[in-house]
Amino acid sequence: MPSKVSSSSKDGNSPKISEATVSRLPAYYRALSQLADAAQVRVSSEELAALTGVSSAMLRKDLSHLGSYGTRGVGYEVEFLRYQISREMGLNNDWSVVIVGVGNLGRALAHYGGFGSRGFRVVALVDADQTLIGTKVKCGAEGKTVELLVHALSDLEDVIKETNARLGVVATPAESAQVVSDRLVKAGIRSILNFAPVHLSVPEGVDVRKVDLASELQILAFHEQRKAV
Ligand X SMILES: NC(=O)c1ccc[n+]([C@@H]2O[C@H](COP(=O)([O-])OP(=O)(O)OC[C@H]3O[C@@H](n4cnc5c(N)ncnc54)[C@H](O)[C@@H]3O)[C@@H](O)[C@H]2O)c1
| Residues between 129 and 188 that touch ligand X (CB under 6 A) | 129, 132, 153, 171-174, 176, 179-180
Contact (CB, 8 A) for 99 and 46? no
Q: Are strands 136-139 and 120-127 parallel, antiparallel or unpaired?
A: unpaired
CB 207 within 8 A of CB 160: no
Residues 177 and 171: their CA atoms lie apart, in Å, by 8
101 binds, among DNA, its own copies, ligand X, none (CB under 5 to 8 A by kind): ligand X
| Candidate residues 75, 95, 163, 182; the one interacting with its own copies per rule CB under 8 A | 95
| Residue whose CB is less far from DNA, 73 or 143 | 73
Q: Which does 74 bind (CB under 5 to 8 A by kind): its own copies, DNA, ligand X, none?
A: DNA
Residue/partner pairs of 183-190 with CB below 8 Å, 24 or more apart = 183/153, 183/156, 183/157, 184/98, 184/100, 184/156, 184/160, 186/157, 187/156, 187/157, 187/160, 187/161, 188/160, 188/161, 189/98, 189/160, 189/165, 190/166
Toward DNA, which CB reaches closer, 48 or 133? 48
From 54, 152, 198, 211, residue interacting with DNA (rule: CB under 7 A): 54
Told to check if 74 binds DNA by CB under 7 A, we report yes
Which of 11, 38, 72, 130 binds DNA (CB under 7 A)? It is 72
Q: Which is nearer to its own copies, 73 or 177 (CB)?
A: 177
Going across the sheet that includes 120-127, the strands are: 136-139, 146-152, 120-127, 95-100, 167-170, 191-194, 207-210
Q: What does 226 bind: its own copies, ligand X, DNA, none (CB cut-off 5 to 8 Å by kind)?
A: its own copies
By the criterion CB under 6 A, which residues form the site for ligand X? 100-106, 108-109, 112, 114, 126-129, 132, 153, 171-174, 176, 179-180, 195-197, 213-214
For binding to DNA (CB under 7 A), which residues are involved? Answer: 18-21, 44-46, 54-58, 60-61, 63-64, 68-76
